[in-house]
Structure 1
Amino acid sequence: MKVSVNRTVQPVIDEMLATQEALEIRAHTLGNGATVIDCGVDVRGSYRAGALYVQACLAGLATTEILVESIGGIPFPFLHLTIQHPVIACLGSQKAGWIIKTPSYRAMASGPGRALSLQPKSTYRTIGYEDESEEGVIALEADTLPDVDTARYIAEKCGIDPSGLTILVAPIRSLVGSVQISGRIVTMVMHSLEEAGYDLSLIRHAAGSSPIAPVKKDMMEAMGTTNDCNIYYGSVCITTEQYDTIFETLPSQTSPDYGKPFFTLFRDAGNDFLGIDSRLAFSPAEVTINDCTTGDVRHFGVRNSEVLLTSFGVQ
């Protein structure tokens, strides 16, 4: 049976709408019927809201758990993920592959609605997937809430009526924003494998964990600390039917840019994301690969507490 990412996500959205007060989020309906769920623009959000936001981005095909663990002897919250249908959940849903541009709004979009709009088409051709649904869910990384025109634009691209559209919004400099970036840890690996030309149909299971960055007031600093969580301390476990030497290149340690906080690299690159080596920007600290055909297990990379604690600004 084909998985419909815009249907499997609906129980997550239902929970968010039913428990807004407890989650410290707020939903409202736009004039054209689209639903907007504010997860951090004008509300505080919460760890649970962040976990649900990640589950929504992954189309309801992931379980999430937040635990306190140690980094260099200092306790911090960690997000743990296990993902079903990882290629579809990560690349077909969570991948931030759509830049929303309207005269009044700009944001990076992820979530199941991408499978309706086929953004970007190259990814959906690669994984051989598309979705059909009268309802769609999009998650926006933005500091402001979308207006009616933006919702109409997204709905048109998704081929649905605005009344069937739900838009989640979280700034990167919010608690939910911090959680959702850590929640991209497995998708980073899937994206790298997609770019490297690995046969994604061979991947069977995926899981990952990453620290949750402390909330920063400055957007650039927040972008740095959240990315550093994955780059310097994120862990991914992949079960596949065929090992390939491509897996050896996945950890961030293989990049010539490795060893500096992301904010520093971004500043040195003239605030140009493309100026940072992609082997760092889209790489976890470590990966464990299980070839389920042979039973072999291989590990690559290392977690770096020194760089991460520097990035966090621990006193």
Structure 2
Amino acid sequence: MSVNEAALPHVEELCVRADELGVLVEEVGGATLIDAGLEAAGGYQAGVIITRICLGGLGDAGLTYMPVRGLALPAVWVSTDQPALACLASQLAGWRINVDGYTAIGSGPARALAKKPKKLYQRLGYEDQAEIAIIVLESQKKPTASVLSFIAEACGVDVVNLYAVLVPTNSLAGLVQISGRVVETGIHKLETLGLDPARVRQGFGVAPIAPLHPSPEVCMGRSNDAILYGGTTHYVVSGDEELEDLVNKAPSTTSRDYGRPFIEIYEAAGRDFYKIDPGLFAPAQITVTSAETGKVYLAGGVNEEVLLRSFGLSK
């Protein structure tokens, strides 16, 4: 099962529907670059398709709304029946790219070819041998030919077989695909607490989509809050061992830094992500059902007050 090959139809859809979806497609150094929010307008629909790409074609996503104190906030839902591969082997933003002064956070199927990070793929026991590579770049700049050549080489593919999707944080498509990481965020947190991701059979989640703002920093804060204070997830897991304890430790509510908009937490930490409690990075609410016993474990909850304050909607 190749996450790159499974995601390719969604990349092709972006290219075929480029005008309709508000994206720009061009060739850079032989690679195909799809701009979904830098010079292009992008939008909700492009964000949904990019979420499917990030999931390696092994999940689905769509638009909905989330009721919060009488408001109907736009939201994205995500589901997958291959959560370990879709979320950890593909969607996880696990590739920090820094080449010739260009920086980006890389996610999506290409990570499986480059094995970023290597230990994760060893734990998953997964390897992709596709001849095409698809990467999603969260950056405020367009990658150069040398950057794309570096990515292709790291993936072991010809640069002409590389597809790069560019989604700045301060773009609507970017905000959609960040909220579309709600299921992955929960699985990653459960894994760090000791749950074998292979035990997770299915995953479903919903998170509000943060309001667009011209500032990348404001969008960074709001998009984090969308998951930390508004994200809800549901998982079906094999076995029942330690599930109650794991779930109780998993939501963002357990973090010492919980309770303020992320931008305030970031400022208090001296703008140093490494000084922020890693336990904060989790959905607001996590529900896990044991496939064997039928027991359901629930922890956390949506924090409407902080969410609305972050989104600029508090009265």
TM interval, shorter chain, is over 0.9
| Of 183, 186, 191, the match for 2:183 | 186
**In structure 1, what is the Cα distance between the partners aligned to 2:309 and 2:88?**
31
TM-score between both structures, scaled by the size of structure 2: 0.97
Which runs of structure 2 are paired with 1:218-229 in the superposition (5 Å)? 218-229=215-226
Corresponding residue number in structure 1 for 2:274 = 274
User: Could you tell me how far 1:227 is from its partner in structure 2?
Assistant: 0.4
Residue 251 (1) aligns with residue 251 (2): yes
CA RMSD of aligned residues (A): 1.0
**What SS does the corresponding residue of 1:186 show, helix, strand or coil?**
helix
Q: Which residue of 1 is the match for residue 122 of structure 2?
A: 125
1:225-236 matches, cutoff 5 A: 225-236=222-233
How does 1:197-236 map onto structure 2 within 5 Å?
Answer: 197-236=194-233
Structure 1: how far apart are the matches of 2:144 and 2:251? 40
Q: CA deviation at 1:84?
A: 2.4
Aligned residue number for residue 293 of structure 2: 294
Residue by residue over 1:47-96, the C-alpha shift from the partner in whole angstroms, topping out at 9 and shown as x without a partner, is: 00000011000011111110133211112101011112100000000101
Which whole-Å CA distance do the structure 2 matches of 1:25 and 1:236 have between them?
Answer: 30
Moved over 6 A (4+): none
Paired residue secondary structure (1:256): coil
Supply the distance in 1 between the matched residues of 2:78 and 2:125 (Cα, whole angstroms): 24
Decide which of 7, 10, 29 is 1:9's aligned counterpart. 7
Between stretches 157-166 and 64-73, larger displacement belongs to 64-73
State the secondary structure of the residue aligned to 2:165.
strand
- Quote how far apart the aligned CAs of 1:106 are: 0.9
SS in 1 for 2:229: helix
After alignment, is 251-260 or 61-70 more displaced? Answer: 61-70
* Structure 2 residue 38 is the aligned partner of structure 1 residue 64: no
Shift, 1:133, TM fit: 0.8
Structure 1 gaps of 5+ residues are none
8 Å CA contact retained: 1:104, 1:150: no
- 3-state SS, counterpart of residue 233 of structure 1: coil
Which residue does the alignment assign to 1:308? 307
Question: Does residue 146 of structure 1 match 2:143?
Answer: yes
Is the Cα contact below 8 Å between 1:116 and 1:131 reproduced in 2? yes
State which drifts further: 158-167 or 187-196: 187-196
3-state SS in 2 of match to 1:28: strand
> Helix, strand or coil: the match of 1:213?
coil
Hey, what does 2:90 align to over in structure 1? 93
Which of residues 17, 28, 31 in structure 2 aligns to 1:30?
Answer: 28
Are 1:95 and 1:110, in contact at CA under 8 Å, matched by a contact in 2?
Answer: yes
* TM-score, scaled relative to structure 1: 0.97
The equivalent residue for 1:175 is 172
Structure 1 residue 238 and structure 2 residue 235: aligned?
yes
**In structure 1, the residue corresponding to 2:178 is in which secondary structure?**
helix
Q: Which stretch of structure 1 is more off in the superposition, 21-30 or 61-70?
A: 61-70
2:211 is aligned with what amino acid? P
Secondary structure of the residue that 2:274 maps to in structure 1?
Answer: helix
Amino acid at match of 1:251: P
The equivalent of 2:46 in structure 1 is 49
% of aligned pairs identical? 39
**Equivalent residue number for residue 260 of structure 2:** 260
Q: Distance in 2 between matches of 1:105 and 1:257?
A: 31
Offset, 1:197: 2.5
The Cα shift of 1:192 comes to 1.3
- Matched residue SS, 1:92: helix
Deviations 1:203-224, CA, capped at 9 Å, x for gaps: 1110100000001111211111
8 Å Cα contact 2:247-2:298 kept in structure 1: no
